[in-house]
Amino acid sequence: MIVSYLVLILCLMPGCLMADSSKDSQAPDVITAKTRVYEFLKAEGESRTRDEVFDLLLGPDSITHPNLGPIFKFTGSLGEFWVSADRFTVINYNRPGPLKISEAKQVVKAFLANHIQNFEQRNFVQVDSYVEDPLWKEEWREKSQPPNELAIFENWVSIAVHLEARQVKNFNCSDLRHVRTLPPKVTETEVRQELLGEFPEGTIEELRLMEHTGDGGKTWVTIWHAVVQPVGDGDDDAPPRQIISVNADTGERVP
């Protein structure tokens, strides 16, 4: 009995299987086998539709097991499934491994295209991406599209993909639309001169035109957004960066 059990276990290894040519993926018995996989996943909480599951199943490979007989083998992003070809029962399941970073990037790309209106047509720029195990995280900002758009409210997108679970873990974004097409009354040169007068030894690390709202989009003001690194005294550590907003039409500071 023990010997027979060991033989059965050993014969679950790929080397003990005899592979036949793959069957037509639309044949009735293949459809039945795919349906059993769908029902198996649904019982485990899978939310995808039957057609979506079918599209993600690769194969089948028709294999013959010395003890279990003919088997349909499906692979793909949902994992590996063996379905007995006589009773159409799922008899083996291997959960898919964690996503590779390249795969996680594709998950993000598809998710944003599906859930951010006109994402691919708008000028979203990725400003950060990194692994924070077990998550892959990306940060995006919407930028203006010259020459017609001079300033825009920079909508943000933050998204994290759970590598082990192979799906989006969390997502948040802003969705305010405001664009400026007319030149501001205060020029970039004027703002630079003012900042260098205030921080004569400092460095202007960033200066860009953007739309700003302090009340959720009820009122808007165009600002020059500046990041300045002042110079410290002597051997002291450099003072913190200064984030400064200047009204692009009046020159006044915006809190």
Mind listing the pLDDT tens digit of every residue in the chain (255 residues)? 443 443 344 344 444 444 444 455 678 999 999 999 999 999 999 999 999 999 999 999 999 999 889 999 999 989 999 999 999 999 999 988 899 999 999 999 999 999 999 999 999 999 999 999 999 999 999 999 999 999 999 999 999 999 998 999 999 999 999 999 999 999 999 999 999 999 998 999 999 999 999 999 999 999 999 999 998 776 667 789 999 999 999 999 999
Give the pLDDT of residue 24: 59
Find out whether 74 and 80 touch, Cβ atoms under 8 Å.
Answer: yes
Q: pLDDT at position 234, please?
A: 64
User: What pLDDT score does 201 carry?
Assistant: 87
How far apart CA 6 and CA 14 sit, in angstroms, is 15
How far is CA 198 from its chain centroid? Answer: 41
Q: Which pLDDT belongs to residue 55? A: 94
| Per-domain residue ranges of the chain | 2-94, 101-179, 183-247
Write the DSSP assignment of 175-241 as a string of letters.
----EE-SPPSS-HHHHHHHHHHHSTT-EEEEEEEEEE-SSTTSS-EEEEEEEEEPPPSTTSPPPPP
Residue 114 Cα distances to 8, 108, 119, 120, 139, angstroms: 46, 10, 8, 10, 17
Two tokens, residue 23: 């069957």
Level-2 CATH architecture, domain 101-179: Roll (3.10)
Cα angle for residues 47, 107, 92 (degrees, 5° grid): 50
- End-to-end C-alpha distance for the chain, whole angstroms: 80
